[in-house]
A and B are shown apart, each in its own frame.
Chain A
Amino acid sequence: DARVTQTPRHKVTEMGQEVTMRCQPILGHNTVFWYRQTMMQGLELLAYFRNRAPLDDSGMPKDRFSAEMPDATLATLKIQPSEPRDSAVYFCASGLVLKQSGETQYFGPGTRLLVL
């Protein structure tokens, strides 16, 4: 039963600390997405990779957030330095894009981040 995995599931940290979230997409998927969900803003796209190349990170605060895919089995989202307003649930999703078709996105369970 293939699924997207995310670690850690929960993270509590202090303001100013570095936070790294990891995601293992479903094997064979060629797109990876990072979303952030808060009560106020809902689901926001932060970054989007296809075949490990970043296609869109316009939703990400560039000064403190960075997203990478060091290999096809690992995507990372890093916040440095973290701030209380970064508290949210961060979801990773993966999908398989085929030409001219839409893809279903498969979501991980999320990382619940609390920055004190």
Chain B
Amino acid sequence: SQQGEEDPQALSIQEGENATMNCSYKTSINNLQWYRQNSGRGLVHLILIRSNEREKHSGRLRVTLDTSKKSSSLLITASRAADTASYFCATALDTGRRALTFGSGTRLQVQP
């Protein structure tokens, strides 16, 4: 089964609104990453948060990590039509194995 599971599976909002996506995982992690995938393209790295960090910002992105709940959230503020994409969380286990396990993704649609 997937290590990371995103919620919701799909999200539709209006331009200018904030979008929040959640990710839950099952085992101890070294870090958690968020990626974006535009239709027909490869994944693009957005942000990495380590297990000893609680919050991280990058431009309009804000990521939180709660290791006690094994969950993370990605907030996109003031969304734009160009933010329309699928967003995936990915976890790197705390075992030295650095391969990422991806969740099933959240499909975000930002209506202009």
Residues on A lying within 8 angstroms of B by beta carbon are 4, 31, 33, 35, 42-43, 45, 48, 50, 55-56, 91, 93, 95, 97, 102-110
Contacts and interface: CB of A to CB of B under 8 A. Distances in A.
Contacts of B43: 43, 91, 93, 105, 107
A109 B99 contact: no
A71 to B, nearest CB: 21
Contacts of B13: none
A109 B41 contact: yes
Contacts of B30: 102
Interface of B: 2, 30-31, 33, 35, 41-45, 48, 50, 88, 92, 97-105
Contact of A43 (B45, B88, B97): B88
A15 to B, nearest CB: 25
SS of B interface (majority): strand
Given A102-B33, A102-B92, 17 more contacts: A4-B42, A33-B99, A35-B102, A42-B2, A42-B104, A42-B105, A43-B43, A45-B100, A48-B98, A55-B97, A56-B99, A91-B43, A93-B42, A102-B31, A103-B98, A107-B42, A107-B44
